[in-house]
Amino acid sequence: MTDSPYFLISIGLLIIAVILLSNSAHRRKVLGLPSGKIVYSDPGVLGKVEKPLYDAELSLTGKPDYVIEKRNRLIPVEVKSGWAPEKPYDSHILQLASYCLLLEKSQHKRPPYGLLKYRNRTFAIRYTDELRERTIALVEEIRTQKEHGERDRSHHNPNRCERCGFRFICNQRL
């Protein structure tokens, strides 16, 4: 029986399966992701390129770093490279909420919460009706401002200007 090629192939496949599962668990631990199946990831993270999530009604597009499926629920995960603030910034919460909204619209599954993963800490952000409405209102406000042309800078913080994607063309940078 142990000399049978089928037995040896079965043992080989079992060893490969154990190695792959172990590698997957190690990768998840290193990335700091919760248990569950990774059903979406941003390019470069797991090697495959995903299409962005899109909602035509709101004209909203986004790519969460990960989407985890856990107990038939979708959980968006946004990974931030810096250290965690005492509490998450509103902009980070609204970014995560926009991913919740996109998942709700495109997958017809409303996420109960999303995760903001910082270098040293993870926050679970509940996707409440209030947060959903706040996100929709912000998306509509941005669209309205965009339609009316250029807007004035909304802050007096040089650090925000330094990290802004429009800093090279902005005539109001600090």
Contact 74, 103 (CB under 8 A): yes
What does the pLDDT read at residue 35? 72
In a domain, 28, yes or no: no
Our count of domains for the chain comes to 1
User: Is 163 inside a domain boundary?
Assistant: no
Residue 6 domain-assigned (yes or no): no
Token pair of 50 as six digits: 């995903």
Number of residues written out for the chain = 174
pLDDT in the model for residue 96: 97
The answer to the question of residue 118 being in a domain is yes
Task: Write out the residue range of the structural domain in which residue 93 sits.
Answer: 37-151
129 in any annotated domain: yes
Amino acid letter at 86? E
Q: Which pLDDT belongs to residue 103?
A: 94
pLDDT score of 26: 54
Report yes or no on 156 lying in a domain. Answer: no
Spell out the residues 6+ positions from residue 38 whose beta carbon is closer than 8 angstroms to its own: 28, 46, 66, 67, 68, 69
Domain assignment of residue 125, yes or no: yes
CB 123 within 8 A of CB 88: yes
Per-residue pLDDT of the chain (174 residues; tens, 9 = 90+): 556 666 667 676 667 655 555 555 555 565 667 777 777 777 655 556 678 889 999 889 999 998 988 888 999 999 998 999 999 999 999 999 999 999 999 888 899 999 999 988 999 999 999 999 999 999 998 888 777 766 777 778 788 778 776 777 777 777
- Residues β-bridged to residue 94: none
Which of 154, 106, 153, 104 is CA-nearest to residue 131?
104
Within a domain: 105: yes
